[in-house]
Amino acid sequence: MRRFAADRARRAVAASLRAAASRSGAPSPLVPAPRHPAHPVGAAAMAAAAMARAMSTATKGAPAVSLDTINPKVLKCEYAVRGEIVTHAQNLQQELQKNPESLPFDEILYCNIGNPQSLGQQPVTYFREVLSLCDHPALLDKSETHALYSSDAIERAWQILEKIPGRATGAYSHSQGIKGLRDEIAAGIAARDGFHASGDNIFLTDGASPAVHMMMQLLISSEKDGILCPIPQYPLYSASIALHGGSLVPYFLDEETGWGLEVDELKKQLEEARSKGITVRALVVINPGNPTGQVLSEENQKKIVEFCKNEGLVLLADEVYQENIYVEDKQFHSFKKVARSLGYTDDDLPLVSFQSVSKGYYGECGKRGGYMEITGFSPEVREQIYKVASVNLCSNVSGQILASLVMNPPKAGDESFESFMVEKDGILSSLARRAKALEEAFNSLEGITCNKAEGAMYLFPRLHLPQKAIGAAQAAGTAPDAYYAKRLLEATGIVVVPGSGFGQVPGTWHFRCTILPQEDKIPAIISRFKEFHEKFMDEYRD
């Protein structure tokens, strides 16, 4: 009887959460606000929680923690980049290790995540030399060290240690990060933008994710607080909004115009959210785009800045792919530079720029370095941000050092400069070639169209699936793009993330594929993919 009641409660919660997801603007699969009268995401979840709690009192003696009793916001959160398909891939990998002949491929190719070094990209030597020296400063006093490390790396390690109180890389730093490193990052930002930047505005974080969570925590009080997010979006945003109990207010990027970001669409969605009683607090823009790979034009960015200024929104600028641009006619402009070039100051616009050491040409995901630069917040609000940062004491010091290195890499004349540039240019030009090869391959196939990856690390091809394939997916109880991704994995070992994990215009289907496999593997990947896709289309052609 008890078990039955608990099961019933669990089903009730699950049903209620599904209903909440389908009514809301949240992705996977994303239902656009216009078609269904949207409710705030949190409302149904809260009702479900109340129900679950009512049920759980009826099951006293049940385990202390169950799906009925945990925070429903946790239940609601989704993160497809490491979701079901990846778990399936990991299981196949174990199978492959046990029994190499059991599957029609000999390795799993993780194209689900922007994790370059997991696919063989080598770290930048100079950065690693400096990190290695800072980890073991006793080396700096030894003459043998010169046989192993470049002289400018040794010099740089000395400079960095001078900036760390007591040269103690093993001490908690200031909760925003080591002041001297923040100043160095600010100098790098100023050199990039041509506008002043201050180390006082930098918060160093363990990768960009904790910085995003901090801002969501600050801005979201309840489901009445909305955050405008692109669809498709990087699901960190939907996950963080769900965990903090807010409402994701979707705006759709226009696939026809290369994932264009139209201010008219922003306005429409903002008005609609407001009409439902949602106070929209911020706009998230990912530039270069993830999963879409587009690079915004400066003109477009100006309009976005004006929109935020006029509507009183915080502009949350995800700029972690700022070094990843692959086309001649586009370049990266930070939103802060665009705002300043319009004459807007700290008084006009609250603006947060997120940066990470995980992306760029360095791709140091495992180091968990990153920062946010915050401008346009009052001293009292900044104090609150600092307080929350201080609860976690500080981000990891190696990540802090690396963030200062990527924002101030070797300069012409430094001993390492030439070899550094060879490594950097080698990685970036290879990424550009890989992006182009994959894009062309996808576009050559029946039923696939694919926008150019102007930047970032991904392609987001659209699948024009035959009705028969959609029917097969429905029969299997999965979304058509998830069905396709599963079949692709099982046939080729290639792991991609279904578009439903990022959100997409309803009735369209996509997948995200990184451009990160090593270049010499790309031809084989393309031919494996092509073979699978042609068979799949043959199987399901209407």
Residues 462-521 contacting a copy of itself, CB under 8 A = none
State the SS3 of 166-200.
HHCCCCCCCCCCCHHHHHHHHHHHHHHHCCCCCHH
Dmax over CA atoms of the chain, in Å, equals: 77
Write each residue from 77 to 96 as x if it is in contact with a copy of itself (CB under 8 A), else as -, in one continuous string: xxx-xxx-------------
Among 41, 133, 459, 515, binds a copy of itself (CB under 8 A): 133
Give me the least distance between CB of 480 and a copy of itself, in Å please.
24
The one segment of 182-190, 383-391, 444-452, 520-528 that binds a copy of itself by CB under 8 A: 383-391
Give me the residue label for tokens 């594929």: 513
Beta bridge pairs of residue 351: 315, 375
Given the complex with a copy of itself, which of 114 and 499 has the nearer CB atom? 114
State the amino acid at position 179 in one-letter form.
Answer: K
Give the torsion through C-alpha atoms of 456, 458, 464, 467, to 10 deg.
-130
Give the torsion through C-alpha atoms of 452, 454, 459, 463, to 10 deg.
-30
Q: How far apart are CA 89 and CA 103, in angstroms?
A: 12
The one segment of 95-103, 360-368, 427-435, 461-469 that binds a copy of itself by CB under 8 A: 360-368
221-240 residues near a copy of itself, rule: CB under 8 A: 221-222, 224, 236, 239-240
Among 16, 28, 115, 451, binds a copy of itself (CB under 8 A): 115
Contact status: 66 vs a copy of itself (CB under 8 A): yes
Helix 480-492 vs helix 84-98: angle between axes, to the nearest 10 degrees?
20
Give me the least distance between CB of 231 and a copy of itself, in Å please.
18
Among 22, 151, 384, 527, binds a copy of itself (CB under 8 A): 384
Given the complex with a copy of itself, which of 79 and 158 has the nearer CB atom? 79
26-65 residues near a copy of itself, rule: CB under 8 A: 49, 53, 61, 63-65
Chain Cα centroid distance, residue 347: 29
The one segment of 69-77, 98-106, 259-267, 534-542 that binds a copy of itself by CB under 8 A: 69-77
Q: Quick one: DSSP state of residue 32?
A: P
Given the complex with a copy of itself, which of 207 and 410 has the nearer CB atom? 207
Contact status: 15 vs a copy of itself (CB under 8 A): no
Q: Which of 456, 491, 380, 390 is nearest to 89 (CA)?
A: 491
Q: Which of 81, 107, 116, 352 is nearest to 211 (CA)?
A: 352
Q: How far apart are CA 494 and CA 447, in angstroms?
A: 19
The one segment of 75-83, 99-107, 187-195, 427-435 that binds a copy of itself by CB under 8 A: 75-83
Strand-pair category, 351-356 with 247-252: unpaired
Q: How far apart are CA 499 and CA 113, in angstroms?
A: 13
Given the complex with a copy of itself, which of 125 and 297 has the nearer CB atom? 125
435-454 residues near a copy of itself, rule: CB under 8 A: none
Residue 352 to residues 66, 215, 217, 297, Cα–Cα distance (Å): 37, 9, 14, 19
Give me the residue label for tokens 């990052």: 185
413-432 residues near a copy of itself, rule: CB under 8 A: none
Strand-pair category, 225-231 with 509-514: unpaired
Given the complex with a copy of itself, which of 112 and 451 has the nearer CB atom? 112
> In sequence order, what are the residues at sequence separation of 6 or more whose Cβ sits closer than 8 angstroms to the Cβ of residue 146?
154
259-288 residues near a copy of itself, rule: CB under 8 A: 279, 281
Contact status: 202 vs a copy of itself (CB under 8 A): no
Contact status: 364 vs a copy of itself (CB under 8 A): yes
Q: How far apart are CA 229 and CA 250, in angstroms?
A: 5
Beta bridge pairs of residue 226: 247, 280
Write each residue from 283 to 312 as x if it is in contact with a copy of itself (CB under 8 A), else as -, in one continuous string: -----------------------------x
Among 391, 412, 520, 542, binds a copy of itself (CB under 8 A): 391
Asked whether the beta carbons of 482 and 473 are under 8 A apart, the reply is yes
The one segment of 99-107, 109-117, 419-427, 489-497 that binds a copy of itself by CB under 8 A: 109-117
Among 263, 388, 445, 537, binds a copy of itself (CB under 8 A): 388
Given the complex with a copy of itself, which of 331 and 384 has the nearer CB atom? 384
Among 140, 243, 445, 522, binds a copy of itself (CB under 8 A): 243
